[in-house]
């Protein structure tokens, strides 16, 4: 254990908890999932908040709870309906996991949310942090909820020099939190940590003058706040290059294709897309012409570029869309073409796009298309 953690005796811990919880009582954020301690609401909010800002999540949370007010509603929902409600939040495996977990709750726990750490942590998509958040807030279990905010606060509090980017370091912070967490009010304590990390003990320019635990913070005392937490840099996302076709038929409909059932953006809809090399991408970006189309061994007037039937393509790129996933950076050149024959497929008018589940890259392509081609003068 970190020696600075060991130095805290029972009296110091009690004083720390008293000061910290008093600050939380006076300053806690008014958030919709804090209106009660329903584990279902806490669970959904915590999953939504992963990799997503609080102000973004609020509207999604309201819509989600209105659409799926109970665990049973969530378990029985069609996947397309669930993904449509989640559309725009990204990380769609989160939505699929919560539905799998809802089905677990219905079959293994008779529709009642489990109440032990082991049972909560056994649900699909629920890791140690979410287990701690649900267990402490809903069931008063003295279980830490250790995320990036908490590790930042605790690293400054005790001058912990372990790299928070390494999974092995989590145990150090878990030990520290178990030593200082309030057993009488564990939910409030965890939420106080979340609020402090997001509002005062921020990654840069922490507001130490208004920090309720300033007198306990070793980093503040040694003027080393900006040195913590220790965090190694993430690997840069890998670049991938695509072409996408906004293909319109004579009825004013656009062709959509459903992605595979597994993998990135599973079961979601996009314009036809094809991955290409960076070199081809660079060439096409300069000028979309018959010469450039030869890269795909097609001719201008019979171009089966992206699809295997004739399309007359506009001679310039509509625009470029970029989107960053956790480990990937997509670059997409969007082209517009007119279908010259009556072919089968999912053809959809632009006013009906809202009926389909679009990933963020597709939403960006639609926005681009509307700005350039579908704009009404």
- Domain boundary pick from 227, 251, 284: 227
160 and 88 in a common domain: yes
pLDDT of 374 reads: 60
d(CA 155, CA 217): 9
Torsion of CA 312, 316, 317, 319, to 10 degrees: -130
- Residue 134 burial (10 A CB sphere; 0-12, 13-18, 19+): buried
Q: Are 333 and 243 in contact (CB under 8 A)?
A: yes
Report pLDDT for 234. 82
Q: 377 in a domain, yes or no?
A: no
DSSP string, 188-210: HHHHHHHHHHHHTS-SSS--GGG
Nearest Cα to Cα of residue 359 among 298, 233, 273, 285: 273
Task: Return the pLDDT at 311.
Answer: 84
Contact 320, 333 (CB under 8 A): yes
Residues 153 and 7 in one domain: yes
Residue closest to 207 by CA, chosen among 199, 217, 218: 199
Domain range spanning residue 287? 238-372
State the DSSP H helix or E strand holding residue 240, giving kind and residue range, or none if neither.
Answer: strand 238-248
CATH number for the domain that contains residue 318: 3.90.79.10
d(CA 221, CA 366): 53
Catalytic residues: 46
Is residue 261 a part of any domain in this protein? yes
Q: Considering the domain boundaries, does residue 71 fall inside one?
A: yes
Final residue before a domain boundary, out of 182, 205, 227: 227
Domain boundary residue, one of 227, 257, 281: 227
Q: pTM for this structure?
A: 0.83
Do 110 and 13 fall within a single domain? yes
Cβ proximity of 43 and 130 under 8 Å? yes
- 36 and 137 share a domain? yes
Q: Looking at the domain assignment, is residue 139 inside a domain? A: yes
Per the domain annotation, does 208 fall within a domain? yes
Hey, which bits of 7-127 come out as E strands? Answer: none
154 and 21 within one domain: yes
**Is residue 63 in some structural domain?**
yes
pLDDT, tens digit only, all 377 positions of the chain: 678 888 899 999 999 999 999 999 999 999 999 999 999 999 999 999 998 999 999 999 999 999 999 999 999 999 999 999 999 998 899 999 999 999 999 999 999 999 999 999 999 999 999 999 999 999 999 999 999 999 999 999 999 999 999 989 999 999 999 999 999 999 999 999 999 999 999 999 999 999 999 999 999 999 999 999 999 988 889 999 999 999 999 999 999 999 998 889 999 999 999 999 999 999 888 766 544 444 443 334 444 577 888 888 887 788 999 999 988 999 999 999 888 788 899 999 999 999 999 999 999 999 999 888 765 44
**Residue 292 counted as domain residue:** yes
Q: CA 183, CA 17: separation in Å to the nearest integer?
A: 10
Phi and psi at residue 310, to the nearest 5° = -65, 135
Same domain, 87 and 13: yes
Question: How far apart, in whole angstroms, are the C-alpha atoms of residue 200 and residue 153?
Answer: 10
Rounded Cα distance, 97 and 93, in Å: 6
Which CATH number is 23's domain given?
1.10.340.30
DSSP, collapsed to helix, strand or coil, labels residue 142 as coil
Cβ neighbours of 163 (radius 10 Å): 12
Looking at the fold, whether 216 and 265 belong to one and the same domain comes out as no
Is residue 86 assigned to a domain? yes
């Amino acid at each position: 254990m970190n020696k600075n953690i060991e130095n805290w005796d029972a009296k110091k811990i009690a004083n720390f908890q008293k000061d910290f919880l008093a600050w939380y009582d006076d300053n806690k954020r008014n958030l919709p999932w804090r209106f009660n301690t329903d584990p279902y609401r806490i669970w959904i909010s915590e999953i939504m908040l992963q990799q997503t800002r609080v102000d973004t999540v609020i509207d999604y949370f309201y819509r989600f709870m209105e659409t799926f007010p109970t665990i049973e509603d969530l378990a029985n929902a069609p996947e397309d309906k669930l993904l449509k409600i989640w559309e725009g939040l990204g990380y769609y495996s989160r939505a699929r996991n919560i539905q799998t977990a809802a089905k677990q709750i219905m079959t293994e726990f008779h529709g009642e949310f489990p109440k032990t750490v082991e049972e909560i942590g056994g649900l699909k998509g629920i890791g140690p942090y979410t287990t701690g958040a649900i267990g402490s807030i809903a069931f008063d279990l003295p279980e830490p909820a250790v995320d990036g905010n908490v590790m930042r606060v605790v690293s400054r509090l005790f001058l912990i020099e372990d790299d928070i980017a390494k999974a092995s370091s989590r145990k150090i912070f878990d030990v520290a939190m178990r030593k200082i967490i309030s057993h009488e009010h564990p939910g409030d304590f965890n939420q106080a940590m979340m609020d402090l990390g997001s509002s005062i003990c921020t990654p840069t320019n922490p507001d130490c003058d208004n920090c309720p635990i300033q007198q306990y913070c070793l980093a503040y005392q040694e003027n080393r706040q900006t040195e913590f937490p220790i965090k190694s840099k993430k690997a840069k996302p890998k670049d991938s290059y695509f072409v996408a076709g906004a293909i319109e038929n004579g009825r004013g409909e656009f062709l959509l294709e459903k992605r595979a059932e597994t993998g990135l953006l599973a079961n979601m809809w996009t314009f036809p897309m094809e991955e290409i090399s960076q070199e081809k991408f660079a060439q096409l970006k300069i000028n979309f012409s018959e010469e450039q189309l030869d890269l795909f061994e097609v001719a201008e007037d019979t171009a089966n570029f992206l699809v295997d039937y004739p399309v007359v393509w506009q001679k310039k790129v509509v625009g470029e869309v970029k989107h960053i996933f956790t480990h990937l950076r997509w670059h997409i050149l969007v082209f517009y073409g007119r279908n010259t024959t009556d072919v089968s497929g999912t053809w959809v008018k632009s006013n009906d796009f809202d009926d389909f589940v679009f990933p963020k890259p597709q939403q960006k392509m639609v926005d681009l298309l509307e700005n350039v081609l579908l704009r009404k003068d």
